[in-house]
């Protein structure tokens, strides 16, 4: 029994010494690391930026740590689309004559109708003229008038004339060869209306319009029609476009 006890004690002491020696050897042994790795205790760690400190184990954390303060890395974030709506309030002024202006001051120079000052001729020769009429029309977004003429006898040619004042001289706006039934469009625009109309009139005045028919032995005129493209007139109030 005595000899058994002694051998057991020695065995325990030997194991303790072996463990102690082993631990001391681990503490004192320095690992050999190759770049870009550096020693970290008894192991090696990655040091890609060569700052003698172990890089983070997470690449994403390392990148975030390298960003300047206040900035976020959104390279891995899903794209986001932001739609911004802007509301613009536009004020327009309706003058007493129903002209629509951008400012109240402009109502002082608003377009006024002169239709009341015009003196139309209401007589025409029914032996040659069946009817002569006009009505508001649209040519695309362009305000216009369509004139229709029906004749009992076909003339050599037809000239359409306008006057914009009681004492104004008639001026021709359209010419055509004679037909028994014809129509044409007058557009209201500043300058030429292009291909949208056969003739153009400025929308700043009312007009007397007539057709002058030239036959071999005589000249015949239709009655006058008032066309008013100003804001007060039916032609100016026509909605187009």
Q: 45-103 pLDDT, tens per residue? A: 878 888 888 876 544 444 444 445 544 555 556 666 667 777 888 777 776 655 677 77
pLDDT of residue 33: 79
The three-class DSSP label of residue 117 is helix
Same domain for 204 and 122: yes
- pLDDT the model gives residue 146: 96
Evaluate whether 206 touches 191 at the Cβ level (below 8 Å).
no
What is the tens place of the pLDDT at every residue in 140-177?
Answer: 999 999 999 999 999 999 999 999 998 899 999 999 99
| DSSP β-ladder status, 142-151 and 157-163 | unpaired
The pLDDT assigned to 9 comes to 35
Residues 160 and 220 in one domain: yes
Domain membership flag for residue 7: yes
Looking at per-residue pLDDT, the higher value among 221 and 34 belongs to 221
In a domain, 195, yes or no: yes
Residue 72 lies in a domain: no
Count of structural domains within the chain: 2
CA atoms within 13 A on the CB side of 104: 0
Q: How confident is the model at residue 108 (pLDDT cuts 50, 70, 90)?
A: low
Distance of alpha carbon 40 from alpha carbon 71, whole angstroms = 31
Which of 151, 218, 209, 226 is closest to 182 using CA atoms? 151
Q: Is residue 62 located within the same domain as residue 120?
A: no
- Residue 85 pLDDT: 77
Domain end call among 66, 83, 98 = 66
Shared-domain flag, residues 35 and 130: no
Q: Is 107 helix (H, G, I), strand (E, B) or coil?
A: helix
Q: What is the pLDDT of residue 109?
A: 62
Is the confidence at residue 17, as pLDDT, over 60? no
**199 DSSP 8-state letter:** E
Whether residue 216 sits in one domain with residue 120: yes
**Looking at residue 178, which CATH number applies to its domain?**
2.60.40.10
Does residue 24 belong to any structural domain of this protein? yes
Please tell me whether residues 221 and 125 are part of one structural domain.
yes
Which alpha helices (H) appear in the chain, and where do they start and end?
A: 2-28, 59-66
Q: Is residue 96 part of a domain?
A: no
Q: What's the pLDDT at 118?
A: 94
The pLDDT assigned to 77 comes to: 61
What mean pLDDT is reported for the chain?
78
Is position 183 within any domain? yes
- Asked if residue 213 and residue 120 are part of one domain, the reply reads yes
Instruction: Give the model's pLDDT for residue 14.
Output: 39
- Among 66, 88, 105, residue at a domain's last position: 66
Q: What is the Cβ-side half-sphere exposure of residue 231, based on CA atoms within 13 angstroms?
A: 13
> Residue 208: helix, strand or coil by DSSP?
strand
Provide, rounded to the nearest whole percent, the portion of the chain with pLDDT above 90. 45
Higher pLDDT, 191 or 119: 119
Do residues 123 and 55 share a domain? Answer: no
Q: Does one domain contain both 142 and 60? A: no
Residue of 97, 125, 106, 132 whose CA lies nearest to 206: 97
pLDDT at residue 6 is higher than 50:
no
> Is 97 domain-assigned?
no
pTM of the model: 0.56
Query: What does the angle CA 85 – CA 91 – CA 96 come to, to the nearest 5 degrees?
Result: 155
Cα–Cα distance for residue pair 67/80, rounded to 1 Å: 22
Does 218 share its domain with 129? yes
Q: What is the reported pLDDT for 192?
A: 80
User: Can you give the residue range of the structural domain that contains 54?
Assistant: 2-66
Q: What are phi and psi of 150, to 5 degrees?
A: -120, 125
**217 has pLDDT over 90:** yes
**Same domain? 53 vs 126:** no
Q: What is the pLDDT of residues 184-207, one digit of tens each?
A: 999 998 878 888 899 999 998 999
Q: Give a yes or no: residue 129 inside a domain.
A: yes
């Amino acid at each position: 029994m005595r000899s058994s006890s002694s051998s057991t004690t020695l065995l325990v002491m030997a194991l303790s010494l072996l463990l102690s020696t082993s631990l001391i050897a681990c503490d004192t042994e320095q690992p050999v690391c190759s770049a870009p790795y550096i020693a970290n205790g008894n192991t090696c760690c990655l040091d890609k930026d060569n700052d003698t400190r172990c890089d983070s184990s997470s690449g994403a954390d390392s990148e975030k740590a390298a960003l300047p303060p206040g900035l976020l890395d959104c390279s891995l974030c899903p794209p986001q689309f932001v739609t911004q709506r802007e509301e613009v309030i536009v004020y327009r002024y309706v003058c007493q004559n129903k002209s629509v202006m951008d400012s109240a001051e402009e109502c002082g120079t608003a377009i006024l109708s002169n239709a009341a000052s015009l003196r139309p001729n209401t007589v025409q020769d029914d032996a040659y003229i069946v009817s002569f009429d006009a009505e508001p029309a649209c040519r695309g977004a362009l305000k216009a008038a369509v004139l229709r003429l029906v004749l009992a006898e076909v003339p050599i040619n037809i000239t359409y004339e306008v006057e914009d004042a009681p004492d104004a001289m008639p001026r021709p706006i359209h010419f055509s060869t004679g037909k028994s039934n014809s129509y044409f469009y007058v557009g209201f625009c500043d300058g030429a209306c292009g291909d949208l109309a056969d003739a153009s009139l400025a929308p700043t005045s009312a007009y007397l319009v007539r057709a002058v028919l030239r036959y071999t032995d005589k000249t015949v005129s239709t009655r006058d029609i008032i066309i008013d493209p100003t804001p007060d007139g039916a032609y100016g109030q026509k909605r187009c476009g």
